[in-house]
Amino acid sequence: MLDRNAARCVKREAGRFHRASMKPLISSLSFVVALLWAAVLPANAQVNVTQKNNNLSRDGLYTDSAFTPGNAANLVRDLNFDGTIVGNVHAQPLYIEGGPNGPMVIVVTASNNIYALNASTGAVIWQRTDIGPPVTSGLPCGNINPAGTIGTPVIDLASRSLFFDALIDGVVKKHFIYSLNVDTGATNAGWPVDVNATAMYNGIIFNSLVQEERGALALVNGIVYIPYSGYNGDCGTYHGWVVGVQINNPSTGVGAWATTAVKGGIWGHSGVASDGTNMFVITGNTTGTGGVWGGGEAIIRLQAGPFFTGQPTDYWAPTNWFSLDNGDTDLGGVSAMLIDVPGANPSQLVLATGKDSNAYLLNRNSLGGITAPVAQLSVGFTIGQSSATYRTAQATYFVFRASNQVKAYKITATSPPTIVSAWSMSQSGQGSPWVTTTDGTNNAIVWVVGAQGDGLLHGYDGDTGAVIYSGGGVVMSGTRKWNSGMVARGSIYIANDNKVYAFRVPAGTPTPTPTATSTSTPTATATFTPTATATSTPTATATATATPTVAATATATATHTPTPTPTATRTPTPTPTATHTPTPTPTPTPTPTPAHPSFFTGEIALQNGVYYLQFPNGTPFGYYSYLTDPRWIYHFDMGYEYWFDANDGHSGIFFYDFGSNHFFYTSPSFPFPYLYDFSLNTVLYYFPDPNRPGHYTTNPRFFYNFATGQIITM
């Protein structure tokens, strides 16, 4: 340990280095995606339901020529469809064609069980029951048990990959973002992503213990977005989060945004909506703001990354947001939904409905900040679910469930548009609606399950609300509130606890012909402009990732091939030593290990006469002692002398490594494992330790030198 004189010496050096100029590394990533669609797909084209409510707008609209009113009235349950699964289901099923196994229904359960079922027979094609144990106890509050995979996954057809979030129990309860091959169920290389270890925003560290993932995931231009709320009961210092992971760069391509105020969860079932370029979420109540808005009670528009500009064009909150906060009256009772109304001004809208019983329409291209909405109407209390929208020859509608009613409203094609009541029907249950049409506008039918109510599937005329289908006497078991079904090739699939149900139109009907409106995504050119958060750091690909051990598929690889973004002319391909070769352990379930948190968000805490580096979740980082100045802390495990500089303008930390006699710096611009080495005048990447997932190599110390393109050992 340093003596007093040595400490003063290094401290003086630290001050000198602190005043030295440092240029942050900025990585600008541009994603350009252009999807060209024919006006009407041929009858033999693929039909795929890759996400919640079928489309990024979260409109819940399915175009299927088989669903005429006559066929819909004679819908029957397919008793030959098995559909047996294990676990409670809070997520919508998905439907995928084009693979070696034929059409499949994809289902996830709260027990962290993932299934691919034959779409015709319901037989299991593949299943993953080794993802990891769900959390069944130890959460500070909540009403979902077990808590494992809750939100609806998303599928990337180009790579045939399924993405979902799983909460896994262990010494530390953690959210992991997984990617599986949708045809085999195997874990894709580089996954899963440990959210605790990678997600951070403006000094706020993600803490899985108080964050629930119930909203649907979205995939936009190569980035999968995952929303997070708190648990029922509003316990703990949670935030509303959106985490973005580049699907082709999961090891370092992780960005995040969070509400700056405490709470502000993203609760709605549809999670993240998108226009193909920007992402839209709605947040709930925040606390402790003192009347200064901190991201709650709002529609938030995020750019790629996710990145939030903070400009009024990119958020909207009602003028009484503080009153809504104080009354726990969340604006975000229902997820954001994008609606286009031809002839209206503005015509490109976003809808919010919530616990204050109001529906709000906003111009999604310029939200306006804290101000009056474009249109507003009292429509009834809503919470947790998703809405749907559709257009007929008569009007543009949105539909949702309010208490024990299914309610539809028109949006007028006026300047400005207004909200007008259309119809409502009493119904026992709390399911979220979806809609079928035969060609995009004709024969609109609104479908809702009487979830946790009568257990029946209901169908209503989209223009009048008249009953078209009343369940056929099939009372489904294990229904879950806020959930919805989905439609593919003349069938409706509904995933409930331990069972998937299939309803078919009568035999002999024509093969359904999908239209481009069912799955099209607007052509978009999205540019990622990072801020001084985790998204701003240099990126290097290290393929040995901090993943839980899974018997079926070991996601860690045997080689490290860094590909640094900052140096376009150097792409080193070193051959690491045997120290870098991970050996997967064939254990049946993962046991996630706590990762090193980012240093700069800590604070010094005094416990029993010993100083510790204390983090927001209350856990000391490793083992510490102290010198006379509490900013000096010795980490016995890592062999470092840390100097915690509370006055650092970059909110960073300087520390001295006895093993290498080098002086390092880390800050929000360089979150661990990115370190600035003053001795080498370069940025180093600290490799993950293949033998201890979630930790980093300490003996020997391997770094990647961005300036020279070399792997160095200290």
Judge whether residue 460 has pLDDT over 50.
yes
Chain segment 167-186, per-residue pLDDT in tens: 999 999 999 999 999 999 99
Q: Looking at residue 696, what is its pLDDT?
A: 55
Chain segment 265-302, per-residue pLDDT in tens: 999 999 999 999 999 999 999 999 999 999 999 999 99
Chain segment 414-448, per-residue pLDDT in tens: 999 999 999 999 999 999 999 999 999 999 999 99
Q: Looking at residue 45, what is its pLDDT?
A: 78
Chain segment 482-505, per-residue pLDDT in tens: 999 999 999 999 999 999 999 999
Per-residue pLDDT averaged across 66-81, rounded?
A: 97
Q: Looking at residue 383, what is its pLDDT?
A: 86
Per-residue pLDDT averaged across 669-687, rounded?
A: 60
- Give the DSSP letter of residue 691: T
Per-residue pLDDT averaged across 333-357, rounded?
A: 95
Per-residue pLDDT averaged across 112-129, rounded?
A: 98
Q: Exposure pattern of 74-87 as b/e (b: 16+ CB <10 Å)?
A: ebebbeebbbebeb
Q: Looking at residue 489, what is its pLDDT?
A: 97
Chain segment 569-621, per-residue pLDDT in tens: 333 333 333 333 333 333 333 333 333 333 333 444 444 444 444 434 444 44
Chain segment 544-574, per-residue pLDDT in tens: 333 333 333 333 333 333 333 333 333 333 3
Q: Which residue, 184, 105, 150, is CA-closest to 480?
A: 150
Q: Return the minimum-mean-pLDDT range out of 57-66, 452-461, 647-656.
A: 647-656
- Decide: helix, strand or coil at residue 56: coil
Q: Which residue, 237, 292, 308, 234, is CA-closest to 267?
A: 234
Judge whether residue 263 has pLDDT over 70.
yes
Distance CA 56, CA 58 (A): 5
pLDDT band at 661 (very low <50, low <70, confident <90, very high): low
Distance CA 314, CA 658 (A): 47
Per-residue pLDDT averaged across 650-672, rounded?
A: 54
pLDDT band at 521 (very low <50, low <70, confident <90, very high): very low
Per-residue pLDDT averaged across 671-676, rounded?
A: 57
Judge whether residue 119 has pLDDT over 70.
yes
Chain segment 371-405, per-residue pLDDT in tens: 999 999 999 988 888 999 999 999 999 999 988 89
Q: Return the minimum-mean-pLDDT range out of 111-125, 230-244, 509-523, 673-687.
A: 509-523
pLDDT band at 704 (very low <50, low <70, confident <90, very high): low
Cβ 313 vs Cβ 302: under 8 Å = no
Q: Exposure pattern of 297-323 as b/e (b: 16+ CB <10 Å)?
A: bbbbbbbbbbbbeeeeebbbbbeebbe
Residue 105 forms beta bridges with which residues? Answer: 95, 117
N- to C-terminal Cα separation, the chain: 19
Q: Looking at residue 615, what is its pLDDT?
A: 39
Q: Looking at residue 601, what is its pLDDT?
A: 39
Q: What percent of the chain is modeled with pLDDT above 70?
A: 65
* pTM strictly above 0.85: no
Name residues whose C-beta falls within 8 Å of residue 300's C-beta, 6 or more positions apart in sequence.
257, 280, 281, 282, 283, 308, 314, 315
Chain segment 615-651, per-residue pLDDT in tens: 344 444 433 333 334 444 444 444 444 444 433 344 4
Strands (E), 273-331: 273-274, 279-282, 286-287, 299-302, 315-317
Residue 200 forms beta bridges with which residues? Answer: 205
What's phi and psi for 350, nearest 5 deg?
-130, 140
What are the CA-CA distances from residue 535 to residues 58, 221, 499 (Å)?
27, 16, 40
- Decide: helix, strand or coil at residue 297: coil
pLDDT band at 41 (very low <50, low <70, confident <90, very high): very low
Looking at per-residue pLDDT, the higher value among 674 and 274 belongs to: 274
User: Position of tokens 């980012």?
Assistant: 598
Judge whether residue 235 has pLDDT over 70.
yes
